[in-house]
Structure 1
Amino acid sequence: MPLYDLSIAELRAYRGEVVRPDDFDAFWSATLAEARAVPLAARFEPFDAGLKIVEVFDVTFAGFGGHPVKAWLILPRQREGKLPCVVKYIGYGGGRGFPHEHLLWPAAGYAVFVMDTRGQGSSWSKGDTADPVGSDPAHPGFMTRGILSPETYYYRRVFTDAVRAIEAARSHDAVDGARIAVTGGSQGGGISIAASALDGSLKALMPDVPFLCDFPRAVGLTPRDPFPEISRFLAVHRDKVERVFATLAYFDGVNFASTDSTPALYSVAIMDTICPPSTIFAAYNAHAGAEKAIREYGFNDHEGGGAFQDRAQLDWLSGRI
């Protein structure tokens, strides 16, 4: 895949094309207040995953609308005192999968809390959480479900679930609630940016090749799904363009990053044709924190840094939580 986006110099200066709604903060404050009016009711049930050196819990907690959301909590069996915790979100189409898929952080001495993504988990990794909310007419996939209003858009539910997942992780006796980081790749990276800004008290943010950033540029630039789900929807609903992008502004990683001062380590792949590098730099450059860094992988597509980024995260997070 050749270089197709801006030059490296332009990327490092790019600020994005997103307009922040005047009521952005009020919208999310009201959304979270509504969710928190329902008891979190987090349940941690011991789960036999066939893994001897970690302890696994099958978690259920109340997300958006009080809907049950599944997760895994995985802890090192040998531990002293409360553990720092990494809350992990999953890429587009995937679910929480199996516990043995999430052993990096427990192997490094952290707790890991892996949130299932409602309605997903049947494309490449299995999920166990339904999305009981319906939608207006939508293009196949998740990107256009309820897209004609911020109140009904699919990611309002997902981002609310993500904040409640942090609260569920904090509620476990083995977790130090003051030492929590969030991470995820692609969609999981976009969710982590939103969750970090909305929680407002995390120790670290590690979005890996994050999705859901700078919608105005991404939708017209990349040829590979999921962003083109939106352009195909608009090709049919020609009269809904302004309305759609007005909705998306409430869910754009650039707008979340601009309010977040959490220490952050981003990654970007310069040949990424799913999450264009300019859209990731837009979020990174907007990030309000003074302590931030971005790892660039100049010859990679959406696989990004892979194991190299795993090691970079391990090194960067050490001593921060």
Structure 2
Amino acid sequence: MDSERTLLVTGATGLQGGAVARRLLRDGWRVRALTRDPASARARDLAALGAVPVAGDLEDLASLAAACAGAHGVFSVQDFWAHGYEAEIRQGGNLVDAAKAAGVAHFVYASVGGATRTAGLGITHFETKAQIERRLIASGLAYTIFRPVSFLENFTQEAVLTRMFQRKAISFPFPGDRPFQLLAIEDEADLVAAAFRDPGTFLGRAIEIASDERSLSELAELVSAALGEDIGFREVPLDQFAAFAQQTEDAGLVAATKVGPSLVPQLRWNQTAPVGGWAADIDAVRRLVPTLRSLEAWVASIDWAALRQAHAPRGEPASDLVRSSAR
């Protein structure tokens, strides 16, 4: 039956959901890509790969019921940064309820590392996910929860790249010589695919996931080598970072100008706990997906030449300053 091979992917036009949708398509699943606008460019790109964009909204219960009907599984991810605290909890719960009513066999939820270890610290975008986790577990649905650590792709956001090329340094409020756990979004997608492919190994589990554990100075050195120019690492004091966020200035992270009151407590936690507070057992994660990317492999997968061309300061020719590290 088609329903046995049909998966609903939320956030399908975003980074996490898009990576998951593409990976599931490669495994031969029928993918329903939930989107508010099936005619958008990103939705059309997924359709060209074989996905079926379906109109829906995490605030619209009827659209979620229709999207879940007949689906074998659901991949759930919500966007705190776009919608805020109450909306994320409500939207995550709406999808759990719709999946339960539709008889979905496997619900995979993208939470966050540290969701259950940071209560009371004011990290609201972690608190929302902890609440959704509890709602999912209480629902009785068969589930897998993945708790990603910091995404490597945070360092390829537009504001981060612009700042990096202007200052010739990766800026972050964390000591450059301390280990920090990092995750490639494509590794998360591989883990989600593995969970749907081999549910017996994953059902009923909540797993913190990371690709590698390295220092941010090492990241800067690898990016520098890929670009063929000096890119250093600069630790930004947290109070300075907080001021940037409050004044909506360029703090090096897109989210910082939107939700500093939530992000700053997270970064304070990152600063004070080992490996940034993250607790992924990377060897155990690698046993689940042996193809986890090392930091070197992730850097080599990025077309830094194209990024440099796009984000070079005005008046500075980019073409003679960079070489591509894409593989």
Q: TM-score, normalised by structure 2?
A: 0.29
Q: TM-score, normalised by structure 1?
A: 0.29
Q: Which has the higher contact order (CA 8 A, sep 6+)?
A: 1
